[in-house]
């Protein structure tokens, strides 16, 4: 991982973030196995063993040591890369065993010194990214045939236990000292685990009263009691540890449908240019306007027609348009979220042939049983979800030459509001085709949001007739009048009003309180049913965001600052 410069990342001892808007930002999410500092991967037939062996001196920035396999964002960026590479580069892998390279410790969770010294935005974004990575692990188990097994060869605390909770099966060594715990509340004064609490009760079905006791017992619970309470799946005596872990990995591998004779796709280094004012890739570009606090994002459609069959998807590999554009969008989202916290409005445009976009989509849908086509669709789904949970205002501009169709229409459906030009820009290109959008089959199931519904289902919640009217227009280019009648866009100004209406909308958005906007957007983006994912990100956006701000956690006398000093935190005892 490359660190170019400090930029709104960790704070000095007074808690003030270091920011230099004129410099290239600090954090680069592009890593590869040859640069890993904290993880080792061993492949043995259809089983991969991923060993967490954190370099104590390998923190992302100076100021703390990553003792006891504690982690910072750098550790988790590598883990995210590990998960991605196992899915795309190793189709033969059916079971992934997560374990530790340290004696008697699996993972002590997020590094406390790092949290205590971080700017507020860093803490919240760090928690969001770690949860997205864990969601990716669960997605691999559920949809990719790569079952994750947590082999806890020592104590797993806080975020370490959260990592285990993302796995399908949790094994803990039974040595009378190893335990699992969520000690954040008694030790640090913050929300225990964010995603951890949700997974304990919603995923592992731990009783509420037991979960309450567990989350206030800093030393945790191990052995038979941890099994009885559903906190883990099995406790294994140390003499039998290696044997039982190997047997369990082999057992899960037998139920997988992953191919054993396929060739993986190497995730080659992502080509990217980065200046203080622009970010560029092959298909995605972004212009950063610090004066108006907005980012103008343009996504290009395919340059060529879709290939004929699944074999061509494999032949194109990492250069297959959908995979390439998804990798670029993913990296851009992470870059902007982490490094550009003051650019609060993202404006999406597309450029290209919508029919080609839908043809690429259909090729993937028609070959969804193929492991690579499936992985590409799943990756696109996860990346669009990342946009949904990003605390930024999203606006889509649909103009002549746009290709908001099929999978790229999802960008407009994810937006908080959208503008589609009525007619053309008469002074620019009066002979151009009017702006049009097109729904495709991919918009009706393959790309669900965190609430389990598609963006169209969420848009038309409780309005089934309207949703069916949209379904009846699959593949039909819809100009502004038709799109507005169907409720697919928000506003349709003509070329006379276009510039002013868009400008006023963006300027107005930028004038509002960012905190209030985050709360507003997080409340209405996920209409409909609540899921584990919506609970995790809703609680992170509201509860953990608030708790991290409070003096009881982050103040000079708060629990995060006092941890490890031998002094007790001085709490404001009022309940709010």
For 149-187, the three-class secondary structure string (H helix, E strand, C coil) is EEEECEEEECHHHHHHHCCCEEEEEECCCCCEECCHHHH
- 175 in any annotated domain: yes
The residue out of 521, 536, 568 marking a domain boundary is 521
Which one has a higher pLDDT value, 221 or 540?
221
Q: What is the CA radius of gyration of the chain?
A: 24
Q: Are residues 249 and 277 part of one domain?
A: no
Compute the residue count for the chain: 576
**220 has a pLDDT exceeding 60:** yes
Task: Give the 3-state secondary structure percentages of the chain, helix then strand then coil, rounded to 5.
Answer: 45, 15, 40
Cα separation, 567 vs 464, in Å, equals: 59
Q: Are residues 300 and 167 part of one domain?
A: no
- 234 in any annotated domain: yes
Q: Are residues 327 and 249 part of one domain?
A: no
Output phi, psi for 170, to 5 deg. -115, 125
- 458 in any annotated domain: yes
Residue numbers of the domain that contains 379? 273-521
Cα separation, 468 vs 488, in Å, equals: 13
Cα separation, 197 vs 201, in Å, equals: 7
- 514 in any annotated domain: yes
Residues 6+ apart with CB under 8 A from 240: none
Q: Are residues 335 and 228 part of one domain?
A: no
Cα separation, 56 vs 68, in Å, equals: 8
Cα separation, 370 vs 442, in Å, equals: 16
Q: Are residues 249 and 304 part of one domain?
A: no
Q: Are residues 249 and 278 part of one domain?
A: no
Cα separation, 93 vs 455, in Å, equals: 32
pLDDT of residue 20: 44
> Poorest-confidence range of 101-105, 136-140, 443-447, 535-539?
535-539
38, two tokens: 């904290």
What's the mean pLDDT when you consider all of the chain? Answer: 92
DSSP 477-521: -B-HHHHHHTT--SB--BTTTHHHHHHHHHHHHHHS-HHHHHHHH
Q: Are residues 248 and 338 part of one domain?
A: no
Residues 6+ apart with CB under 8 A from 91: 258, 259, 262, 263, 264, 371, 372
- 465 in any annotated domain: yes
Q: Is 58:52 a contact under the CB 8 Å cutoff?
A: no
Residue 100: its H or E element: strand 95-100
Q: Is 81:37 a contact under the CB 8 Å cutoff?
A: no
Residue 347: its H or E element: strand 345-351
pLDDT, mean of residues 330-358:
97
Q: Are residues 320 and 202 part of one domain?
A: no
Cα separation, 66 vs 54, in Å, equals: 7
Cα separation, 302 vs 354, in Å, equals: 9
pLDDT, mean of residues 174-197:
87
Q: List the strands of the sheet with 393-398, edge to edge.
A: 273-275, 278-280, 284-289, 294-300, 345-351, 393-398, 417-420
- 503 in any annotated domain: yes
Q: Are residues 285 and 228 part of one domain?
A: no
Q: Are residues 159 and 72 part of one domain?
A: yes
pLDDT of residue 1: 37
Q: Are residues 488 and 400 part of one domain?
A: yes
What digits encode the pLDDT tens for the residues 255-283? Answer: 999 998 899 999 999 999 999 999 999 99
Question: DSSP assignment, residue 271?
Answer: P
Quick one: pLDDT band at residue 150, thresholds 50, 70, 90? Answer: very high
With H, G, I as helix, E, B as strand and everything else as coil, classify residue 397.
strand
What digits encode the pLDDT tens for the residues 79-128? Answer: 999 999 999 999 999 999 999 999 999 999 999 999 888 888 898 899 99
pLDDT of residue 24: 57
The residue out of 253, 288, 313 marking a domain boundary is 253
521, two tokens: 């957007």
Nearest Cα neighbor of 321 from 388, 407, 411, 396 is 407
The residue out of 474, 500, 521 marking a domain boundary is 521
Cα separation, 299 vs 293, in Å, equals: 20
**Phi-psi domain of 462 (left: phi exceeds 0; alpha: psi -120 through 50; beta: other):** left
The total number of structural domains that make up the chain: 2
What digits encode the pLDDT tens for the residues 467-491? Answer: 999 999 999 999 999 999 999 999 9
Q: Is 413:425 a contact under the CB 8 Å cutoff?
A: no
Give strand ranges (E) for 203-344. 234-237, 273-275, 278-280, 284-289, 294-300
pLDDT of residue 14: 28
pLDDT of residue 52: 98
Angle between helices 321-339 and 120-143 (to 10 degrees): 150
448, two tokens: 């669900």
Q: Is 343:286 a contact under the CB 8 Å cutoff?
A: no
With H, G, I as helix, E, B as strand and everything else as coil, classify residue 417.
strand
pLDDT of residue 172: 98
HSE, side-chain direction, 13 A CA sphere, residue 374: 16
- 289 in any annotated domain: yes
Cα separation, 172 vs 164, in Å, equals: 10
Q: Which CATH number fits the domain that encloses residue 418?
A: 3.90.226.10
Cα separation, 145 vs 130, in Å, equals: 22
What digits encode the pLDDT tens for the residues 197-208? Answer: 899 999 999 999
Q: Are residues 208 and 160 part of one domain?
A: yes
- 433 in any annotated domain: yes
Residue with tokens 């928000």: 490
Angle between helices 354-366 and 321-339 (to 10 degrees): 110
pLDDT, mean of residues 505-531:
90
pLDDT of residue 6: 26
Q: List the strands of the sheet with 154-157, edge to edge.
A: 104-107, 154-157, 180-181
Q: How many other C-beta atoms can be found within 10 angstroms of the C-beta atom of residue 277? A: 12
């Amino acid at each position: 991982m490359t660190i170019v410069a400090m930029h709104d990342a960790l704070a000095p001892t007074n808690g003030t973030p270091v920011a230099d808007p004129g410099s290239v930002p600090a954090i680069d999410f592009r890593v590869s196995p040859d640069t890993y500092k904290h993880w080792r991967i061993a492949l043995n037939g259809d089983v991969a063993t991923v060993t967490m062996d954190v370099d104590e001196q390998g923190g992302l920035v100076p100021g703390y040591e990553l003792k006891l396999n504690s982690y910072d964002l750098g550790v988790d960026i590598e883990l995210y890369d590990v998960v991605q590479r196992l899915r795309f580069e190793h189709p033969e892998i059916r079971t992934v065993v997560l374990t530790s390279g340290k004696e008697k410790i699996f993972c002590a969770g997020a590094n406390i010194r790092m949290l205590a010294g971080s700017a507020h935005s860093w803490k919240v974004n760090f928690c969001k990214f770690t949860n997205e990575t864990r969601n990716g692990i669960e997605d691999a188990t559920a949809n990719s045939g790569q079952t994750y097994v947590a082999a806890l060869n020592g104590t797993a605390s806080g975020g370490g236990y959260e990592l285990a909770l993302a796995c399908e099966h949790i094994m803990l060594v039974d040595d009378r000292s190893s335990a699992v715990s969520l000690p954040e509340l008694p030790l640090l004064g913050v929300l225990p685990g964010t995603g951890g609490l949700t997974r304990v009760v919603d995923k592992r079905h731990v009783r509420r009263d037991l979960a309450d006791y567990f989350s206030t017992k800093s030393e945790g619970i191990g052995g038979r009691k941890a099994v009885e309470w559903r906190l883990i799946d099995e406790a294994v005596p140390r003499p039998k540890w290696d044997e039982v872990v190997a047997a369990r990995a082999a057992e899960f591998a037998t139920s997988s449908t992953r191919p054993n004779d396929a060739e993986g796709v190497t995730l080659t280094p992502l080509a990217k240019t980065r200046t203080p004012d622009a970010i560029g890739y092959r298909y995605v570009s972004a212009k950063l306007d610090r004066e108006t606090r907005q980012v103008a994002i343009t996504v290009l459609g395919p340059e060529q027609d879709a290939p004929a069959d699944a074999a061509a998807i494999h032949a194109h590999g990492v250069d297959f348009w959908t995979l390439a554009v998804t990798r670029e969008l993913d990296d851009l989202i992470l870059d902007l979220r982490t490094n550009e916290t003051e650019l609060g409005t993202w404006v999406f445009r597309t450029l290209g042939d919508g029919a080609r976009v839908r043809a690429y989509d259909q090729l993937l849908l028609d070959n969804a049983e193929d492991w690579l086509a499936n992985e590409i669709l799943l990756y696109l789904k996860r990346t669009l979800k990342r946009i949904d949970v990003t605390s930024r205002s999203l606006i889509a501009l649909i103009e002549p030459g746009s290709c908001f169709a099929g999978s790229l229409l999802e960008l407009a459906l994810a937006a908080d509001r959208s503008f589609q030009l009525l007619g053309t820009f008469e002074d620019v290109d009066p002979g151009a085709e009017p702006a049009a959008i097109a729904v495709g089959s991919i918009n009706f199931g393959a790309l669900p949001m965190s609430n389990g519904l598609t963006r169209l289902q969420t848009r038309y919640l409780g309005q089934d007739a309207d949703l069916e009217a949209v379904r009846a227009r699959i593949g039909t280019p819809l100009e502004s009048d038709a799109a507005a009648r169907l409720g697919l866009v928000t506003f349709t100004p003509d070329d006379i009003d276009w510039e002013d209406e868009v400008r006023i909308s963006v300027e107005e958005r930028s004038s509002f309180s960012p905190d209030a906007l985050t709360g507003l957007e997080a409340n209405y983006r996920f209409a409909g049913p609540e899921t584990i994912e919506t609970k995790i990100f809703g609680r992170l956006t509201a509860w953990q965001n608030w708790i991290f701000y409070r003096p009881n956690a982050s103040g000079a006398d708060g629990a995060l600052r006092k941890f490890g000093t031998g002094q007790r935190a001085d709490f404001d005892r009022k309940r709010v």
